[in-house]
Structure 1
C-alpha cells in the first residue's frame, strides 16, 4: 500500500492514516501490524521492516488518536483531554528511533515497534512547542479530516495536498461551473 505524506510533519502524516474520521465512511489504513511497519518505512522513519505485533499496533493507534485530539483541541482553543496529554507525554519520554552511523560513514535508521509511537509522540511535542503549530490547518475538502502545516508563502493553502483533495475540489468546482453555464 502506498501511503500519502502531505502534512509536513511525521506526526500529522501518521494522524492521516485514519481517513474521514467521525463518520460512517471512516477508513483505517493501518489494518494490520505489517501496515504500520510499511508506513514507517515509507515515512523514512526506518530503513527496513520492523517487527510489529498486534499490541504494538494498538499502542500506536492509541497514540495517534490522542495526538489528533490534542491538535484539534489546540486549533479550537480548548484544553486537550488530560488522559491524552498523559499518554503522549508517557510515550514521548520513551527511547526513539535514531539514526546510526556506520563505519563506512553512511547512516541507517533502525528501531523497534515501541520506538515508532515514541518518535511520533516526540514529534508532536516538537510541533506544539515550535512555531509550526500556528500554521497547522484542517483540510477544507468535504469529509477530509487530514491536518497539515501550511508552509505556503501566503499561508493560504486550503487542502491537505493538491494531488489529493485539492485536485478533487477543483474538479468539483469546474463541473459545477459547467452545469451552471449549461442552464
Structure 2
C-alpha cells in the first residue's frame, strides 16, 4: 500500500497513516516494515534498517497523540495534556540531521527514535504555534485526514483536490444530472405538448 503526502505537513501526513477512521478504518502501519517504508517515503531518512514490533507500537502511540491534538486544533477544542506529553517525550530524542555529502546530495541517517523525534518535533512546532490555526479536517466523506489550509482565503475544504475534491465534485455532478433529468420529466408531464417537440 502506498502513502499519500497531501496534508502539507510531516506530522499530519504521519497522522494519516491510519485512514478512514470513522468508517472503514485502515491501518497503513500494519507491520514494522510499513513504518520503515513510510519514513523513507516521507524522506525523513534514506533508509531505516531495523524496526521492531515494540517500535511500531511506539510509533502508533505517537501518531494517535498527534492526530487527537491536531483534531482538537481543527475543531477549537483544548486538547489533552497527556497527548502533549507523548509528543514532548518523543521530541526529547535527537532528530534526524541531514548531512550534506556534496552539492545536490544530502544523506539522512537515523534509527527509529530519531525518526520519531523528527516527527514529534515537527508536531510540536505546528501544534504549539500559530500554525495550529491552519489545521483543517477534510470535508470529503468519509475522509478523516487533517491538513494545513495555506490558501489565501483560508477556504480549502479537501485534503487533496485530486482525490477527495474530485470525488465530491463527481458526486455533485451526478446529483445535478439526476435532478435535471427529474425536472425535465416533471416539465414534460405538466406540459404534454412538449413531448411532441
TM-score, reference length from structure 1: 0.93
Q: Cα offset for 1:50? A: 3.3
- After superposing the two structures, state which structure 1 stretch, 122-131 or 6-15, moved more: 122-131
Aligned twin of 1:133: 132
Question: Matched residues in 2 for 1:173 and 1:145: separation?
Answer: 20
Question: Matched residues in 2 for 1:21 and 1:94: separation?
Answer: 29
Question: Matched residues in 1 for 2:149 and 2:40: separation?
Answer: 24
Contact 2:48 2:111 in 1 (8 A): no
Say whether residues 1:3 and 2:14 are aligned partners.
no
Describe the superposition over 1:121-166 as per-residue Cα deviations: whole angstroms up to 9, x where unpaired. 1101111233322111000011111000011222211100012111
Question: Matched residues in 1 for 2:107 and 2:150: separation?
Answer: 29
Q: Cα offset for 1:85? A: 1.6
Aligned twin of 2:193: none
Say whether residues 1:34 and 2:33 are aligned partners.
yes
Q: Cα offset for 1:31? A: 1.1
TM-score, reference length from structure 2: 0.86
Aligned twin of 1:85: 84
Describe the superposition over 1:7-46 as per-residue Cα deviations: whole angstroms up to 9, x where unpaired. 01110000111111134x1111111111111111111111
Aligned twin of 1:118: 117
Q: Paired residues, what number?
A: 181
The higher radius of gyration belongs to: 2
Aligned twin of 1:43: 42
Question: Matched residues in 1 for 2:138 and 2:9: separation?
Answer: 15
Q: Cα offset for 1:82? A: 2.4
Gaps of 5+ in 2: 183-197
Q: What root-mean-square deviation, in Å, do the aligned CA atoms of Structure 1 and Structure 2 show?
A: 1.4
Aligned twin of 2:108: 109
More helix by share: 2
Aligned twin of 1:21: 21
- After superposing the two structures, state which structure 1 stretch, 170-179 or 40-49, moved more: 40-49
Describe the superposition over 1:92-142 as per-residue Cα deviations: whole angstroms up to 9, x where unpaired. 11111111233x453201110122221111101111233322111000011
Say whether residues 1:98 and 2:81 are aligned partners.
no
Distance 1:35 1:166, change over 3 A: same
Contact 2:73 2:133 in 1 (8 A): no
Gaps of 5+ in 1: none
Aligned twin of 1:168: 167
